[in-house]
Copies of this chain bind each other. A is one copy, B any other.
């Protein structure tokens, strides 16, 4: 009778970004416990909210062991697939937007560590948060109330991920680049562009654009290194002339 848990939970990290309400952090942790998913990461929570949630009576093991991070980059550094969630239907999107059903299928196929990001209750994920994501997942909702309660959204996502407990399909022969490797590549690219006088290379929105660009490339670890080496050589040449 015992439910067989799908292995995806072993490689899934739920990342709550800028969550305000401690009850919501607790509810998300509880949904994770229900589904046997244990890696919770919290980015810039309202301090009080996080402390209150952690110390609440009956706080789950998931919540007590949750890691706190200063920014999204740090929270997802060891993940090679970063998925953002959104309730938006008409948002101007630079990302692919998958239905939960289709997105969950893709996530199950990914054999390496995955981060699933949930934004704040009010505003969802910011453009800066989104620039860390490879693609987006649409949280299903009706027309009148498009935004779902955080704990419920986490529960619905975890449910769909385990719904068909199929094992992941074939593992790709090359491991995908993780976020830290992509950030290194982005940093070299940004510096090379700045040194080369590329227009608008230095402002904040270009940071986001470069971060999103290197993610759209879906690089393997090997190709990320290859590209970094190429750019480093160009940068070195530009500098030394």
Contact = CB atoms under 8 A, between A and B. Distances in A.
Contacts of A46: none
A149 B31 contact: yes
A56 interface: no
Contacts of A197: 233, 237
Interface in A129-186: 138, 140-149, 151-153, 155-156, 159-160, 162-163, 166-172
A146 B1 CA distance: 12
A97 B30 CA distance: 24
B89 A3 contact: yes
Contacts of A37: 142
Interface stretch (A66-74, A107-115, A118-126, A218-226): A218-226
Nearest to A94: B172
Interface of A: 1-3, 5, 23, 27, 30-31, 33-37, 60, 89-90, 93-103, 138, 140-149, 151-153, 155-156, 159-160, 162-163, 166-172, 189, 192-193, 195-198, 213, 216-220, 223, 226-227, 229-230, 233-234, 236-238, 241
Contacts of A147: 34
Contacts of A159: 100, 140, 156, 159-160
A36 B234 CA distance: 50
Contacts of A166: 99-101, 138, 140
